[in-house]
Structure 1
Amino acid sequence: MGPLPSWLVRQPRLVCHRTSRLLNEEVNAMKRCALFHTAVLMFATAPLVWADLPPAKDPLRQPAIILPETPAEWIEMYCTAQKNPAGLLCYLREHVAFMSERKQKSFSVSETTPGEKEQLGRRWYALTLLGDTAGSDIIPAIEEFVAARKAQGDTMTDFDVALAEVVIERIQLRVSGRDTYIATMLDWVRNGDKTYPRSLDERGQPTRKGKMRVWQAAWALGQLRVPEAAPVLEAKTQEPLWSAGMYGFPLIRALAQIGDRNTMKTVAHACYSGGLFDRLFRWNWLCPGEVDPVWTYWQMRTQGMSLPQTIETMLGALGGDELDVYAHKVLEALGDTSVPYLIDALQHPRG
């Protein structure tokens, strides 16, 4: 990707009638304020003890930075998927019943209630997990879900049908063998919205199903941590449709699972320009076992550093002299381990 905009790299130096000495004092005061706020939160919460950026205590509940925290129910769904994928079908039946009870056919995701968003999240995660774990014997039940949703014909039908049909394709490919599955997922990222059946509408624009192939392929490659997928996913984010926002951010989430340091700037830029769009769709919680993109960024950026070096790097970012990707949030997640270094920074500020 091209160079980052200057406002992402450093804060502009504002020169008025102040002397440079006063300006430096002002910057240091701002830095001390930020550090004090972070230190207070550390004393209050102190949830983790780290030695760099190690794995979370619970691998299914990773630290949530830019994405909402993993729901407890999703962890139950994940465990069900590993033992008995058919146990997830109840969430599909629940969704059909939920949509039947709605009096209005119109359905806008951005205007839904918290309970409705939770419902949408469960149906998305249940279907996606079926794509990861189900065998061919589950396909008829998913086809019944597709038929039921088509009969209901509301404004969410196209999304649900596209998701379910692509999940069926994923199951068929996955059971045919790992190599075939991965190769096809890579091609879905490249061409799933271009050359596959029903991927383009009459105007030549990607259809819902075309986009869904790209999203589901990115998910699958991220979950499998396929190294060769990193450049393919990053290249996709350079296409206009997938460059940012709600279309491109799922690709960034997949890149975050792979953790290729060559994609570090792409992940950082997307966390600024795209993460807020993803938050509009609050059913996109951090999934069980998924690593938050911001967390991955700091893992890559501080790779090989000691704990003091890691914290020093984050503190430098807080001052605005370097790229700051939610450094204060990651420092909060560090807990009481980082408090001595924060106190030292307050007492002996840099600059």
Structure 2
Amino acid sequence: MKHLKSDKEKIMEFLLSGHLDSIELGIQIAESLHVDLKDVAEDMDILFNWLSKHTRLTFKHKLLKIHSVEVIDLSGKNLKVIPSQIKYLTNVKKLLLSDNSIHKIPNEIGNLTKLTELKVDNNHLTVLPAEIGLLTQLTLLDVRENHLQLVPPQIGNLIKLKQLLLDVNQLTELPIEIGKLEALSHLSVRANQLAQLPVEIKDLKKLTQLDVGENLLQEFPESLIRLQKLIVLILDTNPLKKLPDKIGILKKLTYLNMSHTQLQSIPSQIGTLMQLNKLYLAGNQLARLPSEIGQLDKLQVLGLWDNPLSKDEKINIQSWLPFCEVKYGIESFK
């Protein structure tokens, strides 16, 4: 899905190229292609006025300076609309649109092929345009706290993406194409309505942080066991009921949160996660822990509040982990 530039866009490129003689050349090209210069001027004015009103950018000459802008920060400006003329900002690398009232990202966003960061968190988006897949230089896409109901399959084209943040939306599924994000190291889909994860998530070989907390997962996704580089795994507030024995395969985990997941037991293989330094198991139905948890020499914090643990079991746990801060709520031991 490659974008083909219109005659009008080609002329705007000349006008925004940063050279005085480009103005005269642009006019000549416009005349030869029978493009209405008045129409071009209107687009230029819309873009210039929008940037001038909502940013601190200053332009001695609109034709010579817009061209050079690489970072545009429009966060917290009470914006409701992004003009389609944004397509002319082809040199922008960071577009920050957080904390506004934007309902739609125009399809023309696909023209900004140099973008490496796009932040549209805390807006009113319900969809992302398919053209998001044209932004193949993106390393960060932040769409937290919107009203997204789906992620377009074109997301799979973002092969340089390292961080994908989709927390606090209304997603019921993720596209299978998410497995194509070979550079992804941080995926967060917290507080959505996901009942399962696509099996293809196993292909995210560089993933180190995964947050799927506050969703509707009823089983621990087996595909996660394939993510050998995981350091942080957050699955709290899902009705999982069980932690699989294979959890011991994730040897690089340093942070594991399984709080409020209706667990009744913990497999002894938890003791093989030798890099763990924080383990949260609060709000479950645990009456005991396996003695193998005492093998976790690097464990610094163990969260166990709101579990039916007897006094004797708490004494056992403390004897197994004498240097760990064990939290039982108001009461804690160290």
Fold match, TM over 0.5? no
**TM-score, normalised by the number of residues in structure 2:** 0.31
Identify, as 1 or 2, the structure richer in helix. 1
Work out which of the two has the higher radius of gyration on C-alpha atoms and give 1 or 2. 2
**Larger relative contact order (CA 8 Å, sep ≥ 6):** 1
